[in-house]
Amino acid sequence: MMLTFDHETLGQRVLFGTGAATVNLAAEVSRLGAQRVMVIASDFETEMARMVSADIEVVLWHHDVVMHVPIERAEKARAAAAEHDIDLLVCVGGGSTTGLAKAIAMTSHLPIIAVPTTYAGSEATNVWGLTEASRKTTGVDTAVLPVTVIYDAALTLSLPVEMSVASGLNGMAHCIDSMWGPRRDPINAALGAEGIRALSQGLPLITANPSGTEGREQALYGAYLSAVAFASAGSGLHHKICHVLGGTFNLPHAQTHATVLPYVLAFNAPYAPDAETRIAVAFGTAEALTGLQHLRKRLDAPKALSDYGFTADRIAEAVAVVLPAVPDSNPRPVSTENLTRLLQGALTGEDPAVLLGL
């Protein structure tokens, strides 16, 4: 069979080393010649951010970080960066922190150095997201891709096991969605499969030994691969659903992704046999859903959207908002009826295998 595809690789420097974040950040700030640095970190991550930034001069600290990046908070941060004549953004934290840095870069074109403390993967994509009037809008812009990512597993040690699991499964969702994204190709499929393998090995190690770094290194490695694959393949059905659940109903980002993932996999797998086989091989199981569910059981993963405040009376609105955004590339036709059924299953934590026969 002849291979024909169009693949674009995003340019980004990656520095990976446990215990090396402070040294690596100082070296990157020097390499970039930055003089007026703005550090973005939530209140929770401020102490860690100050440790990481100990060897650089910081002109402005910004801690007003909110999940799903409300437009009002983005505009406030943009104004602060402009007022202080910032020439480099450093974000230390999870996806919300990185998202705020991207919101600033989108209008200012300032470079970003991202120092992730979770497995969200936003640091390795050129995708931005903003929420306004209970609607989350996402887009792609090369200006928001961090020029450098500094990975340090020691910075994830404070992430509780429960949140590590949810965040890691968010990364897993990037891997799986890349298998049928609108720009999928053999390269991002290979990266996604390796991401699945790394995350499925790393996350159980974290739950078994939360104070160790071996599992956290594997999870960070897998999260990076998942994000690169996702940035290349584009946003698939899973992410369209979760962006609506988060932006419209303010559900927690990582837990929502972790909960919805098996339902989308069960929904699409029978219609994408090549992708299903690749995912199953990455898990080391005969079937993709079996591999994911075995992992989720080991991790005691999030099970039902109802646990996070979603209710049955919101399903119709969610379906109405999701449907127009579903990519034409999705392997299975999506209708009001079957999308409603998918969300009903995710709401209650029903066995996702029932969706295989829909």
Q: What confidence tens digit (pLDDT) does each residue in 143-198 have?
A: 999 999 999 999 999 999 999 999 999 999 999 999 999 999 999 999 999 999 99
**With bands split at pLDDT 50, 70 and 90, how would you rate the model's confidence at 268?**
very high
- Taking only the tens place, the pLDDT of each residue in 86-126 is 999 999 999 899 999 999 999 999 999 999 999 989 999 99
Q: Which residues contact 109 (CB under 8 A, 6 or more apart)?
A: 143
What stretch of H or E contains 219?
helix 214-233
**With bands split at pLDDT 50, 70 and 90, how would you rate the model's confidence at 216?**
very high
Exposed/middle/buried for residue 310 (C-beta within 10 Å: 0-12, 13-18, 19+): buried
- pLDDT at residue 8 in the model: 86
Q: Is 73 left (phi over 0), alpha (psi -120 to 50) or beta?
A: alpha
Residue 90 phi/psi, 5-degree rounding, is -120, 120
Is the pTM above the cut of 0.85?
yes
Strand segments (E) across 276-324: none
- Supply 149's token pair: 């990512």
Q: What is the CA radius of gyration of the chain?
A: 19
**CA torsion sign, 200 to 67 to 304 to 352?**
negative
Task: CATH number of the domain at 26, please.
Answer: 3.40.50.1970
Altogether, the residues listed in the chain come to a count of 358
With CA atoms as reference, report the closest residue to 267 among 320, 323, 332, 189.
332
Strand segments (E) across the chain: 13-16, 37-40, 60-62, 88-93, 112-116, 127-132, 135-140, 148-151
* 2 domain residue, yes or no: no
Q: How many helices (H) and strands (E) does the chain have?
A: 13, 8
Same domain, 137 and 199: no
- CA atoms of 38 and 101, how far apart (whole Å): 10
Cβ–Cβ under 8 Å, residues 168 and 219: yes
From 156, 183, 217, the end of a domain falls on: 156
* 222 domain residue, yes or no: yes
- pLDDT at residue 78 in the model: 98
Mean pLDDT of all residues in 322-330:
95
Q: Quick check: 1 pLDDT over 70?
A: no
Host domain of residue 92: 13-156
From 135, 156, 177, the end of a domain falls on: 156
Q: Which residues contact 121 (CB under 8 A, 6 or more apart)?
A: 95, 170, 171, 174, 223, 224, 226, 227, 230
Same domain, 336 and 194: yes
**With bands split at pLDDT 50, 70 and 90, how would you rate the model's confidence at 2?**
confident
- CA atoms of 57 and 83, how far apart (whole Å): 17
Domains contained in the chain, number: 2
Same domain, 170 and 308: yes
Residue that has been written with the tokens 């829909």 in this structure: 358
**With bands split at pLDDT 50, 70 and 90, how would you rate the model's confidence at 348?**
very high
**With bands split at pLDDT 50, 70 and 90, how would you rate the model's confidence at 9?**
confident
- Supply 82's token pair: 């402009």
* 4 domain residue, yes or no: no
Centre a 10 Å sphere on the Cβ of residue 320 and count the other Cβ atoms it contains. Answer: 12
Mean pLDDT of all residues in 117-137:
89
Share of the chain above pLDDT 70, in %: 99
Same domain, 63 and 50: yes
**With bands split at pLDDT 50, 70 and 90, how would you rate the model's confidence at 358?**
low
* 262 domain residue, yes or no: yes
- CA atoms of 246 and 255, how far apart (whole Å): 10
- pLDDT at residue 135 in the model: 81
From 156, 182, 207, the end of a domain falls on: 156
